[in-house]
Amino acid sequence: MSRHNTTRPDRGEAPDLLARFRDVYPHGKGSVFMARAPGRVNLIGEHTDYNEGFVLPVAVDREVRVLGQRRPDDRVVIYSANFDRRASFELDALGLTTRQSWINYPQGVADALQRAGHHLAGANIVMWGNVPLGAGMSSSAAVEIACLLLFTTLAGLRLSPRDDALLARQAENNFVGVQTGIMDQFIARLGVAGHALLLDCRSLAYALIPLDLPGIALGVVHSGVPRGLAGSKYNERREECAEGVRLLQQVLPHIRALRDVQPAEFALVEERLPEVIRQRCRHIVTEDARVGEAAEALRAGDVARLGDLFARSQASMRDDYAITVSAIDTLVEVALAHGSVASRMTGGGFGGCTVNLVPEERWDAFTRGVMTEYPRVTGRTPTIYRCRAVDGASVEQIA
Ligand code: GLA
């Protein structure tokens, strides 16, 4: 994987956030801290995390930054530099809002921390990010992790990185209301530059695998399809998996989650399941096996094998899990026809992005091909991000 950082016009460079902070809060006093957390792209292992299985994500060089300073009261005021909007909440009166929904993520984090017994301080905050919103690159997990690091730092707390990830996930599950797994918050917090992270979502044990494929670029392409109904469809898939576990336990009493079912074993019992539940379970069981194979292929630098595994994952998400949409299927086909050697949808689905491995010498042809062919067939405009694997979240005092 090439390590150089290509600066592209679509990189969304950060404005001078400290200057913005001083403008927005001219009377604030005391130290200013900045927390940052990256977006992510998942190489393979889709919807396996909440089935206690395996995932292989990478933290990428698009990020959320939050600057904050303590206030003397219990109020949290947040200015979004992206939306040029200000919103606030009281730490002792948190409540989901539909009016400025972006503030639900910081509220959810404050809620999770307080429920865990931590005492937080009021704060003045400026938030900014260049992780594309609703694209399947986990902008929400980046917001959650960055806010969590800022809140804990301002309160003089220091939790373990694993606890940070678990609490940020609670914000999403219990406050925002999407029953996501642990993948996004975990990689946003614990990612390491130049590496993919193979995570066991049951034990939270992980291994770092160098993302070192010479001459290969990591390309993420946004389909331009917004993920409107993603939340409810996501929760529906989760329930279908739980139903699958309940039914399978009648013949496989030892299983606790789909993670415990091996593909060969599944093939012997799948006929007992109603068709839709069978398809959903088949995706999870086979996808888990593909994650293990992909980790091996990545360690061996075997790009052709990765391409094959991506193709099987894509077919499984399309035919069994039914989370791709036709524009995404087209985007994968177009990418493969124009130089990508491995392409699949990444993230929660129902729109969003594809992840691609593209030989350097074909990068220009790839971008040209995708930018012309995909809109011609679908009428949608793609956005291409060339990504590097970066470190997970951090926090520092900046003033
Ligand atoms: C979203 C969720 C993750 C994971 C993926 C699908 O990104 O937040 O927990 O389930 O979808 O793999």
pLDDT tens figures, 214-245: 999 999 999 999 876 457 899 999 999 999 99
Largest CA distance in the chain: 68
Please name the residues in contact with 314: beta carbons below 8 A apart, sequence gap of 6 or more. 324, 329, 332, 343, 344, 345
pLDDT (0 to 100) of residue 209: 98
Catalytic site positions: 184
pLDDT (0 to 100) of residue 227: 74
Kindly tell me if the per-residue pLDDT of 4 is higher than 60: no
Q: Which amino acid is at 11?
A: R
The tokens for 65 are 């930054």
The tokens for 254 are 């030892």
Cα–ligand 1 centroid distance for 184 (angstroms)? 7
pLDDT in tens, 378-389: 999 999 999 999
Pocket lining: 179 vs ligand 1, CB cutoff 6 Å: no
The tokens for 105 are 């993520």
Q: Where are the alpha helices (DSSP H) in the chain?
A: 17-24, 104-115, 139-154, 161-170, 183-190, 230-248, 263-269, 275-300, 303-319, 326-337, 363-378
Distances (CA, A) of 123 to 23, 73, 76, 143: 16, 8, 5, 16
Cα–ligand 1 centroid distance for 317 (angstroms)? 13
The tokens for 143 are 């917001």
pLDDT (0 to 100) of residue 56: 99
Is residue 355 within 8 Å of 218, Cβ to Cβ?
yes
Residue owning the nearest CA to atom 5 of ligand 1 = 348
Pocket lining: 320 vs ligand 1, CB cutoff 6 Å: no
Please name the residues in contact with 70: beta carbons below 8 A apart, sequence gap of 6 or more. 30, 31, 121, 122, 123, 154
Look at strands 123-129 and 75-80 and give their pairing. Answer: parallel
* pLDDT range class, residue 99, cuts 50, 70, 90: confident
pLDDT (0 to 100) of residue 228: 61
Q: Which atom of ligand 1 is nearest to the CA of 48?
A: 12
Could you tell me what percent of the chain has a pLDDT over 90?
A: 90
Across the range 21-47, mean pLDDT stands at 97
Which of 42, 43, 49 has most ligand 1 atoms within 8 Å of its beta carbon, as the pocket-test mutant?
49
Look at strands 383-387 and 216-222 and give their pairing. Answer: antiparallel
Could you tell me what percent of the chain has a pLDDT over 70?
A: 96
Please name the residues in contact with 279: beta carbons below 8 A apart, sequence gap of 6 or more. 319, 320, 321, 322
- Average confidence score pLDDT of the chain: 95
pLDDT in tens, 49-74: 999 999 999 999 999 999 999 999 99
Cα–ligand 1 centroid distance for 234 (angstroms)? 8
Kindly tell me if the per-residue pLDDT of 135 is higher than 90: no
pLDDT (0 to 100) of residue 1: 44
Which single residue is written with the structure tokens 């593209």?
A: 358
* pLDDT range class, residue 10, cuts 50, 70, 90: very low
* pLDDT range class, residue 13, cuts 50, 70, 90: confident
Kindly tell me if the per-residue pLDDT of 94 is higher than 70: yes
CA distance 195 to 275: 38
Pocket lining: 351 vs ligand 1, CB cutoff 6 Å: no
Q: What is the DSSP letter of 136?
A: S
Kindly tell me if the per-residue pLDDT of 43 is higher than 50: yes
Cα–ligand 1 centroid distance for 179 (angstroms)? 9
Cα–ligand 1 centroid distance for 185 (angstroms)? 10
Q: How far is CA 140 from the centre of its chain?
A: 8
Residue owning the nearest CA to atom 8 of ligand 1 = 180
Pocket lining: 347 vs ligand 1, CB cutoff 6 Å: yes
- Measured in degrees and rounded to the nearest 5, phi and psi for residue 54 equal -120, 150
Across the range 181-209, mean pLDDT stands at 98
Q: In terms of Cα–Cα distance, which of 2, 67, 8 is closest to 32?
A: 67
Is residue 225 within 8 Å of 328, Cβ to Cβ?
yes
pLDDT (0 to 100) of residue 2: 39
pLDDT (0 to 100) of residue 205: 98
Kindly tell me if the per-residue pLDDT of 16 is higher than 90: yes
Specify the higher pLDDT residue, 136 or 85. Answer: 85
